[in-house]
Amino acid sequence: MQKVGVLAAIDDINAAGGINGMQLEGVIYDDACDPKQAVAVANKIVNDGITHVVGHLCSSSTEPAADIYEEEGVLMITAASTSPTITDKGYQMIFRTIGLDSLQGPFAAQYVINSVKPQRMAIIHDKQQYGEGLATAVKTEVEKAGIKPVMFEGVTPGDKDFSALIAKLKKNDVDFVYYGGYHPELGLILRQSAEKGLKAKFMGPEGVGNPDISKIAGEASEGLLVTLPQSFDNDPANKARVEAIKAKGEDPTGPFVFPAYSAVQVMTDAMTATGTTDAEKLAEYIRANTFNTTTGELDFDEKGDLTQFSFVVYDWHADGTKTPAAQ
Amino acid sequence: MTQSKFYNAIFAAGITFILACLMIGVKLNTEGTTLTVEGATAAQWGWIIGGITVVFFSQLFSNQIDSAFGKLPKPAVSQLVPQSLKSEAMKPWLLAGVIVIMLIWPFMASRGAVDLATLTLIYIMLGLGLNIVVGLAGLLDLGFVAFYAVGAYTYALLSLYFGLSFWICLPLSAALAALFGFLLGFPVLRLRGDYLAIVTLGFGEIIRILLNNWTAVTGGPNGISGIAKPTLFGLEFTRKAKTEGAETFHAFFDISYSSSYKVIFLYLIAVVLVIFLIYLINRLIRMPIGRAWEALREDEIACRSLGLNRTAIKLSAFTIGASTAGFAGCFFAARQGFISPESFIFIESAIILAIVVLGGMGSQVGVILAAIVMTILPELAREFAEYRMLLFGLLMVVMMRWRPEGLLPMKRPQLELNKQ
Amino acid sequence: MSEFSLYLLQQLINGLTIGSTYALIAIGYTMVYGIIGMINFAHGEIYMIGSYVTFIVIAGLLGMGMVSLPIILIIALVVAIFIASTYGWTVERVAYRPLRGSNRLIPLISAIGMSIFLQNFVVLAQGSRDVALPPQITGGWSFGDPSNFEVSVSYMQMMIFAATFVTMTVLTLFISRSRMGRACRACSEDLGMTNLLGIDTNKIIALTFIIGAALAAVAGLLLGLYYGVVNPFIGFIAGLKAFTAAVLGGIGSIPGAVLGGLLLGVTEAMTAAFFPAEYKDVVAFSLLVLILLVRPSGLLGKPEVEKV
């Protein structure tokens, strides 16, 4: 998905004459989401003399790779890795154009506190970096507001049987569940909950906001709450770009397509403005300025994260569509 | 061409059709929330029919193909080396030559290649370790990756919490992995063959799950990042010294900073570690304990009747193998700078086992060769990224049929009478 | 009944359901092991393929407008068994038979290779994403106090129990009464001798793989319907659990495989019921290590006699 966005952005910029007369070229590397491969790929990128990277996708690959880029003065903007720890180490060369787990968690928690007001809340996660990070963020935030979750527990990713967990939720009379993780597990939890007569409301992060969840859970996915970044492909301003991507036979609706597009925009805007491709100068410029991109106005803080990234709570429907939820 | 041959071929083609017709010929699809099926495209059917034809003719002419293959000489790798180089007198020179080349080439090669070589060396270390357990002692260990993880986490945690350096942690990692090997081995080594395999497999999973769940200490799925890189007598290989008062390598020697120094340095450490391990294991094999490993593998009952302590021998192999993995793990953590439980899944154990078996069980040169093949091949096959694992699986099956004894089978030291 | 005992009962039912499916897959492992003394590492993938075939057939028949659920299920079962058995037979023919008589490790590696191959074959042929089938058999039976704690048993769960029980009975009868079954038992006693007595051992071994694969296909169908989701990676986890179950019960023994499966399932459910659910796999594997320490050949396994 990052690839689609990046290549689209490069095509657009080259078609418009490039940067200061130079044309961009995208080189694709595949780390297979494997941390070991990510280090090898990062070394190869440094070796090939590439100094501007959009990537990587999985947080566990981004993290070791970021170490190398920082060390070697390669500018990296990830459009997909949302783990807060990536930018925690005071890197200079690492940025991202996507909201952090640590932003999404509190946002979801605020909605829970103000709109859902659950009696007995449970927080479930999939023990992975993304899911557990979010679940912990939600837990800290709701506890501040005086909601004490009755359960905080992990499940095994790839597991298919959640009957024991659901029985436990039933026993604890849980009426609201926040799930930190991805759609395959939550889909099954929803489906099995419906079969076992658990009547609780569920909420999840963007990782569950995939049409596939309705395929798995069917009717049981009706009424699920999902926090999602604003969907940029529905933004009228991006219509031409969406069409262009569709014309190439690619899918423009992925959550990382437009953040990746804007990552390229940030890089190229900085290049145009500073008149250089020197990664360190670009990094300084990016940190100091605000960029107008397809994903809106982007402003980076000291750590290289976006100062704000807006999320929306959606009501999910059984046919895989969504509508903004009532506040 | 007999008639039965023809029926056989028809039968094989039919089987291929059954295997392919539903799994490739029909594709599951979801429209909205209902599951639908769609037939494959004409091109896919073309592939299926092509496959069936190939199977049909290869069965029909299997005799001819087999005899053609039979005529192909099995490439005995050991015979590729000219006879003159094999004499005992040449051996030290040859070894010295290989070592010198290994030490010099990174200064001429690209950074990516050196990094890949380092990864290969890690697998060589792992392969050598498992070779002791599986190849020499004949104990099937499917959870070898657990000790690798123990080594990696030992260094990562000690460096994170106590700031211990790589060089101190290296023996500690090996020792701790050995301790785990000992503790696991003590009760389970009285199990026979396949039971041992499943218990070690389970143990590998337990270690991984524990690392994943014990978030307070291991960082859980987040892993541990920012692991310190090794230093050369306190000299750091970074652009600017990270710790107060430390000096950097390039400042000390007053040369301009180059990022590839660090990569080359890591590579050189790996080379030294591998040479050290090979030397150590070579010594061990020649010692009574090494002989006992092999004897036990060949015939357990005979060993016992000769008064060998079965448990002690097995345990020593298991422990030494584990410590080697700890060694490799410590180095892996240093190279990677970031580790998480994701790096220690079952498939890693399977790959290490495949290295040992492909190389020829018990043979050290074979293991080294196989580790090189197993790490370089996927790199070369990057273009067929989608088919990479498919080919990997196929290679394992084909290799076992074609050369079950491995690339370079182990040769026992033997004397031959000179025939005049 | 008190809330606690109802909760315990519910978790017991959950555990027995999942245990039954482990048992079905474990029987395949145990039969192959019992006869040729080898772990069929690709068995989990056969189960996965069985699940895929079920989905394809059900979706296809529903798409053609067929409405009678029992007929659809029977057709799906027959096709799944047929295709999965063919895969089982092919695995034996390609990855085991040419290697018979060589070092124990050789076929194991070849089977691991086969397992990786099949998994990636399905990834390429069907994609790596979850494929979901809407619930076909819904409803269930529940008791207990709705305001307190209600125990529910779905029809699907009952079907899984029944299928496991029937399959095990039929198989046990087959092994103990039929001519082929007697040949199977003879093979597991002494392969070479059986061959000398004029029994085509190759045929018997192939038959074992076919029966094992057929059972995996039954499990594939039941679990596919129960969870409603299939992806190419389910085979590995299911295979690992089932193999653990087989070893737990004493590999080579069919009642042992069933006992091991049920025990493993109940242990998992009880762990998840009273401890954080993420530790259930740790407990499952620790149980295996513990039982093997006390009884090195599993619960119902025969102690191995060492022959000189």
pLDDT digits (tens, 9 = 90+) for B29-46: 766 667 777 777 777 788
The continuous run of DSSP H or E covering A291 comes out as: strand A290-293
Contact assignment for A35 to B340 by CB distance below 8 Å: yes
Q: Does A168 lie at the interface with C, CB-CB under 8 angstroms? A: yes
Number of independent structural domains in chain B: 2
Mean pLDDT within B347-368 = 85
> Are B13 and B59 spatial neighbours (Cβ–Cβ below 8 Å)?
yes
As a whole number of angstroms, the distance between CA C222 and CA C220 comes to 6
As a whole number of angstroms, the distance between CA C306 and CA C308 comes to 7
Chain B residues touching residue A34 (CB < 8 angstroms): 342-343
Q: Do residues B42 and B137 both lie within one domain?
A: no
> Given the DSSP bridges, would you call strands A322-324 and A290-293 parallel, antiparallel or unpaired?
unpaired
Looking at residue B7, its pLDDT comes to 84
For residue A34, give the chain B residue with the closest CA.
B343
Q: Count Cβ neighbours within 10 Å for each residue of C277-293 and write b for 16 or more, e otherwise.
A: bbbbbbbbbbbbbebbe
Residues 79 to 108 of C: which have CB under 8 A from any A CB? none
Q: At B326, is the pLDDT very low, low, confident or very high (cuts 50, 70, 90)?
A: very high
Residue with more model confidence, A252 or B420:
A252
Q: Is residue B126 part of a domain?
A: yes
Looking at residue A44, its pLDDT comes to 84
* Residue C8, min C-alpha distance to chain A (Å): 10
Q: Do residues B179 and B229 both lie within one domain?
A: yes
Global confidence as pTM: 0.83
Dump pLDDT digits (tens) for B199-238. 888 888 888 888 888 877 887 777 887 788 887 776 776 6
Dump pLDDT digits (tens) for B49-106. 888 888 888 878 877 777 776 666 555 555 555 555 556 667 778 888 888 888 888 7
Task: Give first-to-last CA distance, chain A, whole Å.
Answer: 31
Q: Is residue B133 part of a domain?
A: yes
Residue C308, pLDDT above cutoff 60: no
Q: Do residues B30 and B125 both lie within one domain?
A: no
Q: Lowest mean pLDDT of A28-42, A59-73, B6-20, C166-180, name the range.
A: A28-42
Looking at residue B152, its pLDDT comes to 94
Chain A residues touching residue C55 (CB < 8 angstroms): none
Looking at residue A86, its pLDDT comes to 81
Chain B residues touching residue C119 (CB < 8 angstroms): 389, 393
Residue B346, pLDDT above cutoff 90: no
Q: Is the dihedral of CA A173, A178, A180, A185 positive or negative?
A: positive
Helix (H, G, I), strand (E, B) or coil at B203: helix
Residue C133 token pair: 């089938």
Beta bridge partners of A290: A299
What's the full length of chain A, in residues?
327
Q: Do residues B49 and B153 both lie within one domain?
A: no
Looking at residue A195, its pLDDT comes to 82
Residue B130, pLDDT above cutoff 90: yes
Q: Which chains touch A (3 or more CB pairs under 8 A)?
A: B, C
Share of chain A above pLDDT 70, in %: 99
C118: nearest Cα among B262, A57, A251, B390: B390
Dump pLDDT digits (tens) for C108-127. 878 888 988 999 888 888 88
Query: What's the domain range around B8?
Result: 3-65
Crossing angle (nearest 10°) for helices C254-274 and C234-249: 110
Contact assignment for C231 to A184 by CB distance below 8 Å: yes
Q: Do residues B61 and B130 both lie within one domain?
A: no
Sequence-ordered strand ranges (E) for B242-384:
247-248, 338-339
Mean pLDDT within B254-282 = 84
> Given the DSSP bridges, would you call strands A176-180 and A201-204 parallel, antiparallel or unpaired?
parallel
CA distances (Å), B295 to each of B134, B292, B318, C64, in order? 13, 5, 15, 65
C133: nearest Cα among A188, A208, A157: A188
Q: Lowest mean pLDDT of A268-282, C10-24, C257-271, name the range.
A: A268-282
Contact assignment for C140 to A195 by CB distance below 8 Å: yes
Mean pLDDT score across all residues of chain C: 85
Q: At C74, is the pLDDT very low, low, confident or very high (cuts 50, 70, 90)?
A: very high
Mean pLDDT within B250-255 = 69
Chain C residues touching residue A153 (CB < 8 angstroms): 276-278
Residue A78, pLDDT above cutoff 70: yes
Q: At C304, is the pLDDT very low, low, confident or very high (cuts 50, 70, 90)?
A: low
Q: At C78, is the pLDDT very low, low, confident or very high (cuts 50, 70, 90)?
A: very high
Dump pLDDT digits (tens) for B275-319. 999 999 989 988 998 889 888 888 888 888 888 888 888 899 999
Contact assignment for A156 to C132 by CB distance below 8 Å: no
- One-letter amino acid at A147 equals I
- One-letter amino acid at B14 equals G
Helix (H, G, I), strand (E, B) or coil at C6: helix
CATH of the structural domain C3-294, one choice from 1.10.12, 2.40.170, 1.10.3470, 3.10.530: 1.10.3470
Q: Do residues B111 and B227 both lie within one domain?
A: yes
Looking at residue B405, its pLDDT comes to 74
Mean pLDDT score across all residues of chain B: 81
Q: Is residue B76 part of a domain?
A: no
Residues 160 to 189 of C: which have CB under 8 A from any B CB? none
Residue B244, pLDDT above cutoff 60: no
Dump pLDDT digits (tens) for A125-182. 988 777 888 888 889 888 988 888 898 988 887 788 888 888 888 888 888 999 988 8
Neighbours of B370 (CB within 10 A): 26
Q: Do residues B219 and B157 both lie within one domain?
A: yes
Contact assignment for B112 to A44 by CB distance below 8 Å: yes
ipTM of the modeled complex: 0.83
Residue A301, pLDDT above cutoff 60: yes
The continuous run of DSSP H or E covering B31 comes out as: strand B26-31
Sequence-ordered strand ranges (E) for chain A:
52-54, 75-78, 94-96, 121-125, 151-154, 176-180, 201-204, 225-229, 290-293, 296-299, 311-316, 322-324
Residue C190 token pair: 């002494």
Q: Is residue B262 part of a domain?
A: yes
Task: Give first-to-last CA distance, chain C, whole Å.
Answer: 59
Looking at residue A88, its pLDDT comes to 79
Looking at residue B176, its pLDDT comes to 94
As a whole number of angstroms, the distance between CA B276 and CA B331 comes to 14
Q: Do residues B22 and B119 both lie within one domain?
A: no
Domain locations in chain C as residue ranges: 3-294
Residue C267 CB partners (closer than 8 Å, separation 6+): C15, C280, C283, C284, C287
Interface of A with B (CB under 8 A): 30, 32, 34-36, 39-40, 43-44, 46-48, 60, 63-64, 67-68, 71-72, 83, 85, 89, 127-129, 132-133, 154, 212, 214-215, 218, 318-320
Mean pLDDT within C166-193 = 86
As a whole number of angstroms, the distance between CA C49 and CA C233 comes to 10
Chain A residues touching residue C17 (CB < 8 angstroms): 163
Residue B48 token pair: 């299926």
In the block, residue with structure tokens 């990022």 = B259
Mean pLDDT within A29-56 = 82
Q: Is residue B88 part of a domain?
A: no
Q: Is residue B85 part of a domain?
A: no
Q: Do residues B244 and B287 both lie within one domain?
A: yes
Q: Write the DSSP symbol of residue B161.
A: I
As a whole number of angstroms, the distance between CA C124 and CA C122 comes to 5
Residue B153, pLDDT above cutoff 90: yes
Residue B247, pLDDT above cutoff 70: no
Q: Write the DSSP symbol of residue B5.
A: H
Q: Which chains touch C (3 or more CB pairs under 8 A)?
A: A, B
CA atoms within 13 A on the CB side of B417: 2
Chain C residues touching residue A167 (CB < 8 angstroms): 7, 10-11, 14, 273
Mean pLDDT within B176-193 = 83
Q: Is residue B81 part of a domain?
A: no
Q: Do residues B100 and B59 both lie within one domain?
A: no
Sequence-ordered strand ranges (E) for B322-410:
338-339
Q: Does A184 lie at the interface with C, CB-CB under 8 angstroms? A: yes
Q: At B381, is the pLDDT very low, low, confident or very high (cuts 50, 70, 90)?
A: low
B331: nearest Cα among B225, B229, B224: B229
* Residue A17, min C-alpha distance to chain B (Å): 31
Mean pLDDT within B396-419 = 72
Q: Is residue B412 part of a domain?
A: no
Residue B48 CB partners (closer than 8 Å, separation 6+): B17, B20, B21, B24, B25, B40
Residue B165, pLDDT above cutoff 70: yes
Residue with more model confidence, B383 or C76:
C76
As a whole number of angstroms, the distance between CA A228 and CA C265 comes to 37
List of domains in chain A: 2-100+233-299 (3.40.50.2300), 102-231+311-324 (3.40.50.2300)
As a whole number of angstroms, the distance between CA B399 and CA B355 comes to 11
Dump pLDDT digits (tens) for C203-260. 989 999 999 999 999 999 998 888 888 888 888 888 888 988 988 888 878 888 999 9
